[in-house]
Structure 1
Amino acid sequence: MPFSAPNRSLGKIDPATTATLIAAAADVALVIDREGIIQDVALNSDDLSTDLTGCSTWIGRPWVDTVTIESRSKIEALLKEAVPGRSGRSRQINYPSVQQADVPILYSAVSAGTEGSVVAFGRNLKQFSVLQRRLVEAQQTMERDYSRLHHVETRYRLLFSVSAEPVLIVDADSQKVIEANPAAADMFGEAVTAVIDKPLVDVFGPQSTSPLQSLLAVVRAAGHADDVRANLRHSGEEVLVSAYMFRQENASLFLVRLLRLTSDSALGVVPKMTWKLLKLVENSPDGFVVTDADGRIVSANAAFLDMAQLATDRQAVNQKLDRWLGRPGVDLDVLIANLTQRGTVRLFGSSLQGQFGTETAVEISAASVMNSERRCFGFAIRNIARRFRTDMRFGPDLPGSVEHLTELVGRVSLKDLVREATDVIERLSIQAALKMTGDNRASAAEMLGVSRQSLYVKLRRYGLADPTGENGSDVN
Structure 2
Amino acid sequence: MDIHTTGSERIAFSDSETMFAGFTTQDFIELAYCAGDFMLAIDESNIIRDVAINGKDYQLANQWIGKKWAETVTVESVAKIEQMLAEGENRNTAWRQVNHRSDGDDIPIQYRAIKPKNGSWTIAVGRDLRAISMLQQKLLKTQQSMERDYLNLRQTETRYRLLFDNISYPVMIVDAANLQLQQANRSLHGLMKAVPGSLDGTKLTQLVHADSRDRLLAHIGAASVSNSFEPVEVRLARQDVSVRLAMSAFRQSGKQFWLINLDDGEHNIPSNPSDRYILDAVEKMPDAFVLTNDNQEIVVANRAFAELVQAGSLEQLIGVSLNRFIGRPNIDLNLLRKQLKDYQNVRNFSSVVNDLGGSEEPVEISAIMIERDEPLFGYSVRTIGRRERDLPNANTELRSVDQLTELVGRKTLKEIVRESTDLIERMCIEAALIHTSDNRASAAEILGLSRQSLYSKLHRHGLGNLPEKD
The residue aligned with 2:207 is 203
Kept in 2: contact 1:189–1:234 (CA 8 A):
no
CA deviations over 1:291-316 (Å, ceiling 9, x no partner): xxxxxxxxxxxxxxxxxxxxxxxxxx
* AA in 2 matched with 1:42: A
2:96 to 70, 83, 91: 91
TM-score where L is the length of structure 1? 0.50
2:50 to 40, 61, 73: 40
**Alignment partners' CA distance in 1, 2:144 and 2:175:** 34
Closer/same/farther in 2, CA of residues 122 and 226 from structure 1, 3 Å limit:
farther
**Alignment partners' CA distance in 2, 1:156 and 1:119:** 64
**Alignment partners' CA distance in 2, 1:157 and 1:43:** 61
The residue aligned with 1:315 is none
SS at the partner of 1:197?
A: coil
1:258 to 256, 262, 265: 262
Shift of 1:258: 1.3
Shift of 1:267: 2.6
Shift of 1:12: 5.7
CA deviations over 1:432-466 (Å, ceiling 9, x no partner): xxxxxxxxxxxxxxxxxxxxxxxxxxxxxxxxxxx
* AA in 2 matched with 1:267: N
CA deviations over 1:56-101 (Å, ceiling 9, x no partner): 31111121222222222111111111116x251111122345555x
CA deviations over 1:385-418 (Å, ceiling 9, x no partner): xxxxxxxxxxxxxxxxxxxxxxxxxxxxxxxxxx
Alignment of 1:334-353 (within 5 A): none
The residue aligned with 1:77 is 83
**Alignment partners' CA distance in 1, 2:102 and 2:170:** 63
TM-score where L is the length of structure 2? 0.51
Closer/same/farther in 2, CA of residues 167 and 45 from structure 1, 3 Å limit:
same
**Alignment partners' CA distance in 2, 1:70 and 1:253:** 60
**Alignment partners' CA distance in 2, 1:24 and 1:369:** 81
1:68 to 70, 74, 85: 74
The residue aligned with 1:232 is 236
Task: Work out which structure has the larger RCO, using CA pairs closer than 8 Å and 6 or more positions apart in sequence.
Answer: 2
Shift of 1:118: 1.0
Kept in 2: contact 1:79–1:109 (CA 8 A):
yes
The residue aligned with 1:158 is 162
**Alignment partners' CA distance in 2, 1:73 and 1:11:** 38
1:112 to 112, 116, 130: 116
Kept in 1: contact 2:171–2:262 (CA 8 A):
yes
Closer/same/farther in 2, CA of residues 110 and 219 from structure 1, 3 Å limit:
farther
Residue 248 in structure 1 maps to residue 252 in structure 2 = yes
**Alignment partners' CA distance in 1, 2:372 and 2:75:** 77
Closer/same/farther in 2, CA of residues 11 and 195 from structure 1, 3 Å limit:
closer
Kept in 2: contact 1:29–1:42 (CA 8 A):
yes
**Alignment partners' CA distance in 1, 2:245 and 2:145:** 41
Closer/same/farther in 2, CA of residues 122 and 186 from structure 1, 3 Å limit:
same
The residue aligned with 2:129 is 125
The residue aligned with 1:31 is 41
**Alignment partners' CA distance in 1, 2:112 and 2:228:** 69
**Alignment partners' CA distance in 1, 2:92 and 2:157:** 56
Alignment of 1:278-427 (within 5 A): none
**Alignment partners' CA distance in 1, 2:115 and 2:40:** 12
**Alignment partners' CA distance in 2, 1:73 and 1:221:** 76
**Alignment partners' CA distance in 2, 1:67 and 1:220:** 72
The residue aligned with 2:28 is 18
* AA in 2 matched with 1:29: M
Closer/same/farther in 2, CA of residues 118 and 204 from structure 1, 3 Å limit:
same
1:179 to 177, 183, 199: 183
**Alignment partners' CA distance in 1, 2:262 and 2:72:** 74
Kept in 1: contact 2:168–2:267 (CA 8 A):
no
Kept in 2: contact 1:224–1:243 (CA 8 A):
no
CA deviations over 1:116-145 (Å, ceiling 9, x no partner): 311111122333333333332332222212
1:58 to 64, 83, 86: 64
The residue aligned with 2:268 is 267
**Alignment partners' CA distance in 2, 1:154 and 1:205:** 34
**Alignment partners' CA distance in 2, 1:90 and 1:159:** 57
Closer/same/farther in 2, CA of residues 66 and 154 from structure 1, 3 Å limit:
same
CA deviations over 1:334-372 (Å, ceiling 9, x no partner): xxxxxxxxxxxxxxxxxxxxxxxxxxxxxxxxxx986xx
SS at the partner of 1:245?
A: strand
SS at the partner of 1:174?
A: coil
Kept in 1: contact 2:100–2:108 (CA 8 A):
yes
SS at the partner of 2:197?
A: helix
* AA in 2 matched with 1:165: Y
CA deviations over 1:186-220 (Å, ceiling 9, x no partner): 11122223322111121112333234334434444
**Alignment partners' CA distance in 2, 1:70 and 1:237:** 78
Kept in 2: contact 1:166–1:181 (CA 8 A):
yes
Q: CA RMSD in A?
A: 3.7
The residue aligned with 2:398 is none
Equivalent residues, number: 274
Closer/same/farther in 2, CA of residues 103 and 154 from structure 1, 3 Å limit:
same
Kept in 1: contact 2:171–2:259 (CA 8 A):
yes
Kept in 1: contact 2:208–2:237 (CA 8 A):
yes
Residue 216 in structure 1 maps to residue 253 in structure 2 = no
Shift of 1:113: 5.2
Kept in 2: contact 1:34–1:115 (CA 8 A):
no
**Alignment partners' CA distance in 1, 2:141 and 2:269:** 53
Kept in 2: contact 1:245–1:253 (CA 8 A):
yes
The residue aligned with 2:145 is 141
Kept in 2: contact 1:170–1:179 (CA 8 A):
yes
Greater C-alpha Rg: 1
The residue aligned with 2:302 is none
**Alignment partners' CA distance in 1, 2:193 and 2:244:** 17
**Alignment partners' CA distance in 2, 1:43 and 1:211:** 84
Shift of 1:175: 0.8
